[in-house]
Structure 1
Amino acid sequence: MNENLRSVLRYLQENSLKLVTAESCTAGLIASTLAETPGSASWLECSFVTYSPEAKMSCLGVRRETIDRFNLTSEEVAREMAEGALRLSRANVAIADTGLAGPGGEGDIPAGTVCFAWSFQKGERVATYSETRRFSGERNEVRQSATEYAISRIWHYHNTFIAQPA
């Protein structure tokens, strides 16, 4: 395990964060990577892997209108995935991703494009942050890079969340 992952895991524990993932492009790799650590049940709640539009809608509550308006590979869909996973679990932080690992792109969206969302909850307060990144490499290299990126941004967005007034 690399030092960056170790520091994120310490951060999760120190801040009493319980995590849920809602993964499309990474197909469970975020949860799998986090679960490699003994004791991960103390901060890993569950994971949803939703590839199809139907699964995103039925399992996570993503709205058809959102998919039709913004596309599956969009921050808007990633945000609804994260918020749905948070709502359906006992977690207080959610990571979601949706994108195109490759080999080909879709329309004007190039392969390697991944949209992420991080949602945090404290009491009734929920905040969601999102961004889009493009990774290079073959399909599984894109998935691995996206996984590492998603995990590495937890502390950044959590600190943003806790710095905002309630």
Structure 2
Amino acid sequence: MELLETVTQYLNDNELVLATAESCTAGLIVSELARVPGSGQTIDCGLAVYSPEAKNRYLSVSFDTIERYGLTSEETSRAMALGAIDNNNADVAIANTGVAGPGAPDDIPVGTVCFAWAFRHQAQLYVYTRTHRFSGERNEVRLAAAHHALELVPKLHREVLEGKAPPV
């Protein structure tokens, strides 16, 4: 709970509003953050977008990106984060797509999750992408991925503020 309280406090202190576009965590990022009293003012929305059609419909992720790079790719998570920040009233967007298990398509190891964090600062967008592999059963992977996504928000946002992030 300490992580969730720390992130909520950071979002509140910096007057940031969050949107998520979640595939493998299926809304768990927003759900976890919502456990903290006072977090409601930091959340705009949380989208659970599993299918390619949902990613396209709600986030404008092109089918070409999905076909070229795959559903589990940093390119797809990047497009999801940009779609989430563009289509909502948010300063921060977190997106993920991955394989929580039990099976893995296309020889992608179970536990592989691709993340993207998009930030809007002074009318400019910044995006980070990362891939991480988590161990454990399906729901352990999902929870670890949700916490990982939230944990990096303050660090990455500080990099944006310090001018260390490349603009989109």
- Is TM > 0.5 for Structure 1 vs Structure 2? yes
Q: Deviations over 1:71-95 (max 9, x none)?
A: 0000000011011010111110000
Tell me which residue corresponds to 1:96. Answer: 95
Q: Assess if the C-alpha contact under 8 Å between 2:4 and 2:36 holds in 1.
A: no
- What is the rounded CA distance, in whole Å, between the counterparts of 1:106 and 1:131 in structure 2? 20
Aligned positions, number: 165
Distance in 2 (CA, whole Å) between partners of 1:73 and 1:60 is 16
Greater than 4 Å deviation, 4+ residue runs: none
**Deviation readout 1:113-142 (Å, 9 max, x if unpaired):** 000000000242000001000001110000
Q: Tell me the SS of whatever aligns to 2:114.
A: strand
For 1:35, the equivalent position in structure 2 comes to 34
Question: Can you list the C-alpha shifts for 1:56-112, whole angstroms capped at 9, x where unaligned?
Answer: 001100011110110000000001101101011111000000000000111221111
**For 1:120 and 1:66, how far apart are their aligned partners in 2?**
21
| In 2, Cα distance between equivalents of 1:128 and 1:43 | 19
2:72 aligns with 73
Query: Counterparts of 1:68-147 in structure 2 under 5 Å?
Result: 68-147=67-146
Three-state SS of the structure 2 residue aligned to 1:150 is helix
Structure 2 counterpart SS, 1:153:
helix
- What is the alpha-carbon distance in structure 2 between the residues aligned to residue 123 and residue 41 of structure 1? 24
What is the CA-CA distance between 1:158 and the residue it aligns to? 0.4
The worse-fitting range, judged by mean Cα deviation, of 38-47 and 63-72 is 38-47
For residues 18 and 132 of structure 2, the distance between their equivalents in structure 1, rounded to whole angstroms, comes to 22
- SS of 2:126's equivalent? strand
RMSD, aligned CA: 1.2
Question: Is 2:163 the counterpart of 1:155?
Answer: no
What's the TM-score once normalised by structure 1's chain length? 0.96
> Which whole-Å CA distance do the structure 1 matches of 2:138 and 2:11 have between them?
29
Structure 2, unmatched stretches of 5+, are none
CA distance in 1, matches of 2:122, 2:162: 15
**Pairing 1:50–2:49 present:** yes
SS in 2 for 1:86: helix
Unaligned runs of 5+ residues in structure 1 are: none
